[in-house]
Amino acid sequence: MIGLAAVSEEAHVRLGAINLIRSSRESVKIAQAAEAAGFWGLGMGDTVPKLYQDTYVTAAACFAATEHLKIGPTVTNTVTRHWSVLGATARTFGELYPGRFFAGLATGDGACHSVGLTPSTWAKLEADVANIRGWAPQDMEVHIAASGPRGAEAAGRVATDLILGTGLDVAALRTLSARARAARTAAGITTPLRVWAFVTTFIAPDKATADAARITQRGRSVGTARFSFSSTFEDKGVPEAWQPILRERLARYDFSNHGVGAGNTNGHLFDDHPDIQEYLVNRFQLLGTAEECEARLRQVAQDAGLDGCWCTLAAMTPDEDAYRRVRTTGEALQSLAGFEPARGSRNGCA
Domain range annotation of the chain = 14-202+289-337
In sequence order, the 6+-apart residues with CB closer than 8 A to the CB of 136 are: 86, 87, 90, 91, 94, 103
Distance spanning both ends of the chain, measured CA to CA: 34
pLDDT bracket for residue 126 (50, 70, 90) = very high
Identify residue 331 by its one-letter amino acid code.
E
Domain 14-202+289-337, CATH number (from 3.90.1710.10, 3.40.50.1360, 1.20.1440.230, 3.20.20.30): 3.20.20.30
Counting Cα atoms < 13 Å in the Cβ hemisphere of 208 gives: 0
Check if the beta carbon of residue 227 is closer than 8 Å to that of residue 75: no
Q: What distance in Å separates the CA atoms of residue 19 and residue 222, rounded to the nearest whole number?
A: 18
Report residue 8 CA to chain centroid gap: 21
Residue 137 buriedness (CB in 10 A; 0-12 / 13-18 / 19+): middle
Identify the band that residue 2 occupies on the pLDDT scale cut at 50, 70 and 90: very low
Highest mean pLDDT among 45-54, 194-203, 314-323: 194-203
Q: Tell whether the model's pLDDT for residue 63 goes beyond 80.
A: yes
Lowest mean pLDDT among 26-40, 170-184, 326-340: 326-340
Position with higher pLDDT, 260 vs 222: 222
**What is the reported pTM?**
0.88
Q: Are 158 and 134 in contact (CB under 8 A)?
A: no
Separation between Cα atoms, residue 257 and residue 47, nearest integer Å? 11
The secondary structure of 137-202, three-state, reads: CCCCCEEEEECCHHHHHHHHHHCCEEEECCCCCHHHHHHHHHHHHHHHHHCCCCCCCEEEEEEEEE
Please tell me the predicted confidence (pLDDT) of residue 220: 87
What is the rounded CA–CA span in Å between residue 222 and residue 213?
A: 14
- 173: nearest Cα among 116, 115, 237, 110: 237
φ and ψ at 340, to 5 degrees? -110, 90
Nearest-CA neighbor of 345 among 15, 130, 67, 107?
Answer: 67
